[in-house]
Amino acid sequence: MSGMIDRFGRKITYLRISVTDRCDFRCIYCMPEHMTFLPRDEVLTLEELDRLCGAFVRKGVRRLRVTGGEPLVRRNVMWLFERLGERIGNGLNELTLTTNGSQLSRFAPALFAAGVRRVNVSLDTLDHARFRAITRWGDLAKVIAGIDAAQTAGLAIKINMVALRGVNDDEIPRMLEWAHGRGADFTLIETMPLGEVEHRIEQYLPLSLVRSRLAQQYTLTESAYRTGGPARYFQVAETGGRIGFITPLTHNFCETCNRMRVTCTGTLYMCLGQNDSADLRTPLRTSDDSGLLDGVIDEAIGRKPKGHDFIIDRRHREPALSRHMSLTGG
Ligand code: SAM
Ligand code: SF4
């Protein structure tokens, strides 16, 4: 097994897989309030998702991140986590999850039992009213209870915060101290131009600016720590914790990209920021034999582009990619 190596010599070992486009929140930067979701028959069944992940693990994927939409609102999703968990040690090194935390109280022990050890929880504010304004439908108390339950169950937590100018940028130091105070990692994300939502340009906040502001208040030392994802980490002397920055727009991390994404409809995107894709649902549904699927995956790897072309530019308002993050999976 030689693994999946693209034409730029990058080895693909990390797959993010979206298991649903549905969600119990409507975050302002992610989707409109009256989002239209996909017809159910377009979405892969749990069994198809398991077969698909199996193909990628056989081909060299070592880390699998389950995402969405909100993965924990998919019916019977624990069945999938249990199947995927059985692959840990059999090709797979790590199974992780990105969640909004709303269902963690219920599922944390089962996730741990299935083999999950690290969970990314998206949390953009610690203020109840603001949380409601950002997520439209979410309840902060439930998310905090979910994080508590996850830590009690033994799951390591990373808090991911999307930095939005004029919305939550004043809370960054508080969030950092809160996360580190409870032994969680903390990562800031720039908004990416995915899907049409209002105010994206006004709310875009370059993290280079945030970092220089934080450096006036904290001692930040660049760290060699990597999780296999795109974040660059700094050690914060005052809190003893780590802060990560995911900066697709101000710092392009494509040269070291080791990942690909599959949507809940079985569309493989070789790059989050490009439209080129491969349909894996047809080979999955037309043949039980893995040969057809393997061939389509191999051909797609050969087309993985060198990098993304994200631009958030006041002069060119249109170049957002039309698909929402909830479809591709963040
Ligand atoms: N529902 C889960 C959650 O919120 O964690 C998983 C899916 S969500 C699409 C994954 C991540 O993408 C979240 O951290 C969210 O904040 C982030 N996200 C969504 N839309 C984004 C955008 N346009 N730019 C940057 N991050 C985005
Ligand atoms: Fe749902 Fe996550 Fe998108 Fe928020 S960011 S609407 S929680 S999918």
Can you read off the two tokens belonging to residue 232?
């660059």
Pocket test for ligand 2, best of 31, 72, 139 (most atoms within 8 A of CB): 31
160 Cβ closer than 6 Å to some ligand 1 atom? yes
Amino acid at 150: A
CB 236 within 8 A of CB 218: yes
Residues 118 and 103: beta-carbon distance below 8 Å: no
Band of residue 323 on the pLDDT scale cut at 50, 70, 90 = low
Predicted local confidence at residue 322, as pLDDT:
60
Q: Determine the residue of 28, 187, 189 to mutate for testing ligand 1's pocket, defined as the one with the most ligand atoms within 8 A of the Cβ atom.
A: 189
Instruction: Report the pLDDT value the prediction gives residue 316, as an integer from 0 to 100.
Output: 46
Burial class (CB in 10 A: 0-12, 13-18, 19+), 265: middle
Nearest to 203 by CA among 164, 163, 246, 170: 164
Structural element, H or E, at residue 176: helix 172-181
Task: Flag whether pLDDT at 181 surpasses 90.
Answer: yes
Q: How far is CA 76 from CA 122, 304, 320, in A?
A: 22, 33, 34
Helix (H, G, I), strand (E, B) or coil at 312: coil
Work out the angle between the directed axes of helices 140-153 and 128-135 (0-180°, nearest 10).
100
Residue 220 confidence (pLDDT) above 90: yes
Atom of ligand 2 nearest to the CA of 324: 3
Question: 192 in ligand 1 pocket by Cβ < 6 Å?
Answer: yes
Task: Please tell me the residue having the least CA distance from ligand 2 atom 8.
Answer: 69
Q: What is the pLDDT of residues 37-62, one digit of tens each?
A: 999 999 999 999 999 999 999 999 99
Write down the pLDDT at residue 6: 87
Compute the distance between CA of residue 79 and CA of residue 87 in angstroms, rounded to an integer. Answer: 13
Question: Rounded distance, CA 329 to CA 262, Å?
Answer: 8
Instruction: Kindly state the average pLDDT of the residues 122-129.
Output: 98
The confidence score (pLDDT) of residue 288 equals 84
**pLDDT given at position 252:** 58
Question: CA-to-CA distance for 111 and 65, rounded, in angstroms?
Answer: 13
138-168: string of b/e by CB count within 10 Å (b at 16+)?
bebebbbebbebbbebebebbbbbbbbbebb
pLDDT value of residue 310: 58
Q: How far apart are CA 287 and CA 141, in angstroms?
A: 46
Q: Is 205 exposed, middle or buried (0-12, 13-18, 19+ CB in 10 A)?
A: buried
Q: Which ligand gives the minimal distance to the CA of 197?
A: 1
Q: What is the pLDDT of residue 314?
A: 42
162 lines ligand 1 (CB under 6 A): yes
Model confidence band, residue 251 (pLDDT cutoffs 50, 70, 90): low
Nearest-CA residue for ligand 1 atom 7 is 68
Per-residue pLDDT, 306: 76
Nearest CA owner, ligand 2 atom 4: 27
How far apart are the C-alpha atoms of 248 and 312, rounded to whole Å? 11
Is residue 318 over pLDDT 50? Answer: no
Supply the pLDDT for residue 319: 41
Q: What is the mean pLDDT of residues 29-34?
A: 91
As a whole number, mean pLDDT of residues 168-188 equals: 97
User: Which alpha helices (DSSP H) does 128-167 contain, by range?
Assistant: 128-135, 140-153
Domain boundaries of the chain, sorted by first residue = 4-328
Q: Whole-number mean pLDDT of the chain? A: 90
Q: State whether CATH 3.20.20.70 applies to domain 4-328.
A: yes
In degrees rounded to 5, what are phi and psi of residue 189? -125, 140
The secondary structure of residue 136, as a DSSP letter, is S
* Ligand 1, atom 5, residue with closest C-alpha: 99
